Structure 1
Amino acid sequence: MSSRTPRSPRARATSAACPCGLPATYDDCCGRLHRGEVRASTPEQLMRSRFSAFAVHDEAYLLRSWHPTTRPPGVDFDPALRWLRLDVIGSTGGPLNVEGTVEFRAHYTERGHAGELHENSRFVRHDHAWVYLDGLAGNRPGLSV
């Protein structure tokens, strides 16, 4: 883990736009999942909430929404990395499925340089909740959203 103390996700202004890209405030969109008020009903909703968790540095949510067989011991938030935008290209799996996928592009800046992560992520149900299993990243190995 980085020695830098991550900011609390609750410090984010509740009226700010949600980082996941949907037309809602953070508080009304991914904030509800981060606070544990609701669970993701589809792999895409979980993917969007995980992207937002990376954007607001919510390590607890990221670890909670990661499958125990692939979950790392912690999340190291790089202070030079800022997540900007999520584009969902396609997804499979719905409320009645037990597995699904999400293909996405996550746009970021790192030390002032623009970049994007293109990944095909796999999600499964674990203990009656969608969780991130793994993904195949196209251009930024070792970083999974």
Structure 2
Amino acid sequence: EDLHAHPGVAAAGYSLFALAMAVGRLSGTALLERLGQTRTLVTGGALAAAGMLLGALAPAPWMALLGFAVTGLGLANIFPVAVARAGAIAGPSGVAAASTLGYGGMLVGPPVIGFLADWYSLPVALTTVAALAGAAALLGYSARGASPARRT
């Protein structure tokens, strides 16, 4: 509605996001081998933040669609790498905490975005997603020197 686009464009936006995320996940192992965990987290978070900002603030529907695709590429490997990193740093309790936060975010996130869009606007709601993706990039960078958990 904000961009005066046909309702099918909204479906295309989610489809492009999901397709880009699938492509990103399928190429994730090669990406991790090439960049390593820290760079994958930081690059993914920054790419997702930039993509969501583009999707949220785009003046044209095609730019919003591009933003959603870029967001999918950026987010594709953040969750698996974050869970692996949490396991390496804190062991099983780290995996449990990262999984709980990740899956909790997937359950709580959409309604929160909907409420924010209703209370303020859709661009404001989607900008919060960009801010959270940027925070994920910063967290990934800040945990780069953390030592793995000792196994007993």
Q: Which has the higher helix share?
A: 2
Q: Which has the higher strand share?
A: 1
Ranked by relative contact order (alpha carbons within 8 Å, sequence separation 6 or more), the top structure is: 2
| TM-score normalised by length of structure 1 | 0.27
